[in-house]
Amino acid sequence: DAGVIQSPRHEVTEMGQEVTLRCKPISGHDYLFWYRQTMMRGLELLIYFNNNVPIDDSGMPEDRFSAKMPNASFSTLKIQPSEPRDSAVYFCASSLATRTGGYGYTFGSGTRLTVV
């Protein structure tokens, strides 16, 4: 398996532009997570899906952020309009649930977003 695949690896955009980040989870994994990592705040959970259904989006900072998972093999995180404070590394992760607990996450390589 190729692991969790994220694109693009790097994104530089101007303030006010729309940004779309993409993720392909590991086949067979039933959970997908979007995290944001900064030096000051560490890894923050933005939203997660179970079987393509959004379960908890309480970490989405504001209405400028939206996420979708149209099928089991694809998810997007969109920021519109983008702002400089959105600059961070965005990680997608997937996992497989068990009755006794999760196996832990497999992370993608991340997208480094810079908003100027």
Partner 1 sequence: QKEVEQNSGPLSVPEGAIASLNCTYSDRGSQSFFWYRQYSGKSPELIMSIYSNGDKEDGRFTAQLNKASQYVSLLIRDSQPSDSATYLCAVNIRGGYQKVTFGIGTKLQVIP
Chain residues in the site for partner 1 (CB under 8 A): 31, 35, 42-43, 45, 48, 50, 55-56, 91, 95, 97-98, 100-110
The least CB distance from residue 107 to partner 1, in Å, is 4
The least CB distance from residue 15 to partner 1, in Å, is 25
Q: Which is nearer to partner 1, 38 or 80 (CB)?
A: 38
The position carrying tokens 């303030």 is: 15
C-alpha 52/C-alpha 66 separation (Å) is 14
The least CB distance from residue 17 to partner 1, in Å, is 25
Are 65 and 78 spatial neighbours (Cβ–Cβ below 8 Å)?
A: yes
C-alpha 87/C-alpha 25 separation (Å) is 23
